[in-house]
Chains A and B, each alone.
Chain A
Amino acid sequence: MWVPFLFLLIGVGLGLLTDFSIPELYSNYLSIAILAAMDTLFGGIRAHLEKKFNQQIFISGFFFNISLAVVLTFIGQQLGVDLYLAAIFAFGLRLFKNISIIRRYIFRLPNKK
């Protein structure tokens, strides 16, 4: 379980070390992409705990969700409607749900259902 965590740190280090930064204009997209990625990650962890993990679903979901969120944000910005709120809402809601389920597994709390 600690290998992914290590990779998270490596990722942060890589991001900080490489002199790569995006313009302020696109920070919106990046934040929404991070949210989407986190949502998929926690979804994957939950699926793993429920022993329903499917690698294809995880990988496709990871990239598809990120792209969808970014595209939604882009369209929203073009239309002048804050569509990214929809993405934040959906992802945020699911994030909390997934984390609560993960919590039940980790602390061996009784499941709601």
Chain B
Amino acid sequence: MKMHRSQKIVFSIATLLIGAMLAVYFKSTPEQPIRETRDMWEIRMQLQNEQNTQQVLQNELNELKAIQSQYQSASEHVQVEVLNESMERLREKAGLVEITDPGVVINLIPMKFDDEDEAVEPELTPELLNRLINELNAYGAKHIAIENERQTNMTAIRYVGDRIHINQRPLADLPLSVKVASDDPDRLLSYIEVSQSRDEFAMHYIQFKLEKKSNIEIPAFDGTFQLQHIEVIEEDEAGVD
């Protein structure tokens, strides 16, 4: 299997080229890993967000630890008291307790038109209400009720047929009132005044009339929660570590 000298050179150059092409090819193709496109500011914002989240979680942990130590240290009577207290707090969080708190009432009223001919029917949709609730929550609302239907974490606002149902009950026609309890009603009020929801409702010919009240009564949620993925574990030694 003897090779001519020139033949060898030709083969060598051919393989050299192939090798170089292969190397370039493999270097070029996996060139697109996910690139970091965020700038400094965005990364800093994200870091801040994460730190805030951590802070919140830390606070929660501390609270729970305090409760735990109370359980462990105190006598039975105090234990029961603490248990009741936690239960009450959780019930309040879940929306099972009637609330009387300062807050804002948003009256949703059909937009008025000067000229009767131009009048357009206002159109309320579940999306609008959902967005409003999201926005209110973002602005620091603590408890919300739409037309005395308490909004809980499990509340569904949706069409059933062509009517909007909240908590499986049909919603009345406009005008409606949305009650929002907050620790800082002034702030909430000014937020709502410039909120995006206000514009979105206006696009559907619904106006906001805002009222600040020192006492709003927000009814309790009176249905039953349907928790699909949670069940009670019944064990004798529950609560003992």
Contact = CB atoms under 8 A, between A and B. Distances in A.
Given A14-B20, A15-B19, A41-B18, A55 B10 contact: yes
A31 B29 CA distance: 10
Nearest to B9: A3
B15 A7 contact: yes
A10 B18 contact: no
A43 B3 CA distance: 15
A45 B63 CA distance: 78
A20 B15 contact: no
Contact of B24 (A4, A6, A21, A40): A21
B18 A34 contact: yes
B14 A34 contact: no
B149 to A, nearest CB: 55
Contacts of B10: 44, 55, 58-59
A27 B29 contact: yes
A31 B10 CA distance: 22
B28 A37 contact: no
Give chain A's interface residue range (CB within 8 Å of chain B). 35 or more
17 contacts: A4-B8, A7-B12, A7-B19, A8-B19, A11-B23, A12-B22, A14-B23, A15-B19, A15-B20, A15-B22, A15-B23, A20-B24, A22-B24, A27-B28, A34-B21, A58-B10, A58-B14
A30 interface: yes
A8 B23 contact: no
B12 A30 contact: no
B7 interface: yes
A27 B3 CA distance: 34
Nearest to A16: B23
A16 B16 CA distance: 13
B22 A34 contact: yes
Interface string B193-205: 0000000000000
A40 B20 CA distance: 16
Nearest to B24: A15
A40 B23 CA distance: 19
A113 to B, nearest CB: 21
A58 to B, nearest CB: 6
